Chain A
Amino acid sequence: AQTVTQSQPEMSVQEAETVTLSCTYDTSESDYYLFWYKQPPSRQMILVIRQEAYKQQNATENRFSVNFQKAAKSFSLKISDSQLGDAAMYFCAYRSAFGNEKLTFGTGTRLTIIP
């Protein structure tokens, strides 16, 4: 079974600075998808960014980018120019490309933005 590990329960960053959230996963599959979801206090789960394992190029979405290291099974999220609205729980998630549609989530990292 696949597992997703987020080793940082909490992180904080000064507004306008850059922060990196870590995620590692364990799988024996060769193809899969990785996601970062954001959960603000409203508890709505919002997709931040996604990465296909077969793509070597790291995904980017505006201020959000990932560092995908397939051999190391690492998928970190970098947030540049942090804003107060980025304060939330961030969850890393894995989904197989071989038929099982479930998302397997990490335990989350709570990000605090310091004004």
Chain B
Amino acid sequence: DAGVIQSPRHEVTEMGQEVTLRCKPISGHDYLFWYRQTMMRGLELLIYFNNNVPIDDSGMPEDRFSAKMPNASFSTLKIQPSEPRDSAVYFCASSLTSGGAYEQYFGPGTRLTVT
């Protein structure tokens, strides 16, 4: 299996621009997670989906952030308009529920820089 795929790996954009991050989960997994990693706040969950339905978006910082999962094999995280404080590494992860301490498999992350 190719693992969780994220694109782009790096993104540099100017303040005010729209940014779209993409994720392809592992085939067959029914949960998808978006995390953000910064020096100040560490790793924090933004939102997660179960069977393409958003379950918990309480970690989404503000209305500038939105996430969608139109089908089981694709999800996007959009920031519009972007701000310098959005600079971070954004991880997508997926998991297959199996009734226990199932693992979340992480993608390689997208490093976003907003200037």
Q: Give residues in A with beta carbon < 8 Å to B.
A: 33, 35, 37, 42-47, 50-52, 91, 95, 100-108
Q: Are B89 and A43 in contact (CB under 8 A)?
A: yes
- Complex Cα distance A91/B37, Å? 12
Q: Are A45 and B106 in contact (CB under 8 A)?
A: yes
Q: Are A101 and B31 in contact (CB under 8 A)?
A: yes
Q: Are B101 and A52 in contact (CB under 8 A)?
A: yes
- Complex Cα distance A51/B108, Å? 24
With beta carbons under 8 angstroms apart, the residue of A43, A52, A105, A107 that contacts B109 is A43
> Which of B11-19, B40-48, B68-76, B77-85 lies at the binding interface?
B40-48
Q: Are A101 and B48 in contact (CB under 8 A)?
A: yes
Beta-carbon contacts of B16-35 to A below 8 Å, as 1s and 0s?
A: 00000000000000010101
Main secondary structure of the interface of B (DSSP, over half): strand
B side interface size, CB within 8 A:
24
- Complex Cα distance A108/B40, Å? 12
With beta carbons under 8 angstroms apart, the residue of A50, A100, A102, A107 that contacts B103 is A50
Q: Are A44 and B48 in contact (CB under 8 A)?
A: no
Q: Give residues in B with beta carbon < 8 Å to A.
A: 31, 33, 35, 42-45, 48, 50, 55-56, 59, 89, 91, 93, 95, 100-101, 103-104, 106, 108-109, 111
- Complex Cα distance A91/B104, Å? 14
Q: Are A50 and B106 in contact (CB under 8 A)?
A: no
Using A50-B101, A52-B101 as known contacts, say yes or no to A101 and B106 having CB atoms under 8 A apart: no
How close is A75's CB to chain B, nearest CB, in angstroms? 13
Q: Are B43 and A102 in contact (CB under 8 A)?
A: no
Give me 18 A-to-B residue pairs in the complex whose CB atoms sit less than 8 angstroms apart, sorted by A's number.
A35-B103, A37-B106, A42-B108, A43-B109, A44-B106, A44-B109, A45-B91, A45-B93, A47-B104, A50-B101, A52-B101, A101-B31, A102-B56, A103-B33, A103-B45, A103-B104, A105-B42, A107-B42
